[in-house]
């Protein structure tokens, strides 16, 4: 193809295009480049290609390899990005894509496409800087969270231990009641800190390690831990499953039982019961915790699984993290969590997880 035949093609391109011979002479340039350089075609043809750099006020640093040499030597397309400063001090970023120009199989020169990418490059650099800043912020946030959690737990556990010691020594009944309330509030504080730390850890990871565990054994262990709390409210916890329920799970699955049973006891009126079961569904297990409390309004059935979202239950207080932890653990087990109305009054919380992990 002759140079004249290429002229119509390169004129149709929006980017600046120049055709250069092996001896660095300009063979042709498209209208975009001529307009930028304010030259006519006959004024630029036959001139040294460096005049374009001078015209565009883009100096050619000695330490920058000219794409012409490399393309002629290798016969391959070369792409370079040059960052320069024009004579008025303005930053300019230029992308040059150079391709070999052949005649009868022999390289006779190159075609350079010159694109001003200053705006897009600045955007990319700004985005990169923002991402780096965000990354550092998250690292600092994580470090701060770890330190804060550790230190708060240390102080809270010291107060809890001291209150237990004072409670054992105290004989005045009024003072003992005050110490009991103190102990109970510190226990709530410890639980809040641990829940926040657990949620932060679960929220920051994308996958868990799994091993075979018996869900029935885990469930009964959690139920046993809540015997005293259930007894205080005269609530009976009925465990419907007795045979082993083996599944590939992470130990964090225990927090599903813990939070669902804790909520059921917390929000159930005294004298009611809580029913728990693990239903075998062939390829999955359906964990069920049924209570006979006030229930969950339809408008809140999804939002209660989001962090810091909870519905008011009179004097019952909470962080709103328990069900968020349940949801996150279920998701990390490639399952889901949801709540439905109990036909007998109250709520039924479900968590479905696969027996085997992908």
Cβ atoms within 10 Å, residue 356 = 12
Averages of pLDDT over each 10 residues, the chain, 358 residues: 65 80 82 76 74 57 62 82 63 79 82 79 66 65 61 73 83 85 78 68 76 94 90 93 94 91 91 95 94 91 75 47 88 93 94 90
| 253: Cβ contacts below 8 Å, ≥ 6 apart | 213, 215, 218, 329, 333, 353
Under DSSP, the state recorded for 233 is T
Q: Is 301 exposed, middle or buried (0-12, 13-18, 19+ CB in 10 A)?
A: middle
Q: Phi and psi at residue 321, in whole multiples of 5°? A: -95, -20
CA-to-CA distance for 222 and 251, rounded, in angstroms? Answer: 13
Whole-prediction pTM? 0.52
355 neighbors 284 (Cβ within 8 angstroms): yes
Q: What is the pLDDT of residue 279?
A: 95
Reference 110, options 81, 164, 72; nearest CA is 72
CA-to-CA distance for 149 and 154, rounded, in angstroms? Answer: 9
For 115, the token pair is 């694109």
- β pairing state of 273-280 and 284-290: antiparallel
CA-based angle 200:205:211, to the nearest 5?
A: 110
Under DSSP, the state recorded for 103 is E
Half-sphere exposure of 151 toward its Cβ, with a 13 Å CA cutoff? 6
| 213: Cβ contacts below 8 Å, ≥ 6 apart | 246, 247, 249, 251, 253
Beta pairing partners, 21: 109
Q: Phi and psi at residue 179, in whole multiples of 5°? A: -65, -35
239 neighbors 220 (Cβ within 8 angstroms): yes
292 neighbors 306 (Cβ within 8 angstroms): no
Q: What is the pLDDT of residue 341?
A: 94
Q: What is the pLDDT of residue 142?
A: 63
Angle between the N-to-C axes of helices 254-267 and 215-225, in degrees from 0 to 180, rounded to the nearest 10: 40
Q: Phi and psi at residue 163, in whole multiples of 5°? A: -65, -35
Q: What is the pLDDT of residue 148?
A: 59
CA-to-CA distance for 311 and 345, rounded, in angstroms? Answer: 17
252 neighbors 312 (Cβ within 8 angstroms): no
CA-based angle 189:225:252, to the nearest 5?
A: 75
């Amino acid at each position: 193809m002759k140079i004249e035949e290429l002229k119509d093609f390169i004129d149709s391109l929006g980017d600046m295009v120049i055709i250069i011979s092996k001896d660095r002479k300009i063979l042709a340039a498209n209208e975009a480049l001529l307009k930028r350089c304010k030259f006519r075609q006959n004024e630029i043809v036959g001139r040294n290609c460096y005049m374009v750099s001078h015209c565009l006020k883009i100096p050619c640093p000695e330490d920058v390899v000219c794409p012409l040499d490399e393309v002629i030597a290798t016969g391959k397309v070369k792409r370079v990005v040059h960052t320069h400063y024009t004579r008025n001090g303005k930053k300019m970023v230029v992308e040059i894509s150079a391709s070999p120009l052949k005649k009868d199989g022999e390289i006779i020169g190159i075609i350079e496409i010159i694109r001003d990418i200053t705006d897009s490059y600045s955007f990319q650099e700004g985005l990169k800087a923002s991402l780096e800043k965000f990354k550092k912020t998250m690292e600092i946030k994580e470090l701060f969270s770890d330190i804060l959690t550790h230190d708060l737990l240390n102080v809270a556990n010291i107060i809890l231990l001291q209150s237990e010691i004072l409670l054992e020594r105290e004989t005045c009944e009024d003072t003992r009641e005050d110490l009991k309330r103190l102990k109970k509030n510190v226990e709530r504080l410890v639980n809040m800190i641990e829940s926040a730390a657990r949620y932060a850890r679960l929220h920051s990871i994308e996958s868990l390690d799994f091993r075979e565990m018996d869900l029935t054994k885990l469930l009964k262990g959690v139920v046993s831990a809540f015997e005293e709390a259930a007894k205080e409210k005269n609530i009976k916890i009925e465990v419907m499953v007795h045979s082993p329920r083996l599944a590939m799970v992470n130990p964090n699955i225990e927090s599903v039982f813990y939070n669902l049973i804790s909520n059921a006891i917390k929000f159930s009126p005294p004298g009611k019961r809580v029913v728990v079961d693990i239903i075998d569904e062939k390829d999955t297990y359906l964990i069920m915790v049924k209570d006979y409390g006030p229930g969950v309004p339809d408008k809140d059935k999804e939002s209660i699984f989001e962090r810091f979202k909870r519905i008011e239950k009179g004097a019952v207080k909470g962080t709103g993290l328990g069900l968020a932890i349940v949801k996150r653990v279920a998701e990390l087990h490639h399952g889901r969590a949801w709540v439905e109305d109990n036909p007998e009054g109250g709520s039924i919380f479900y968590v479905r997880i696969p027996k085997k992990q992908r």
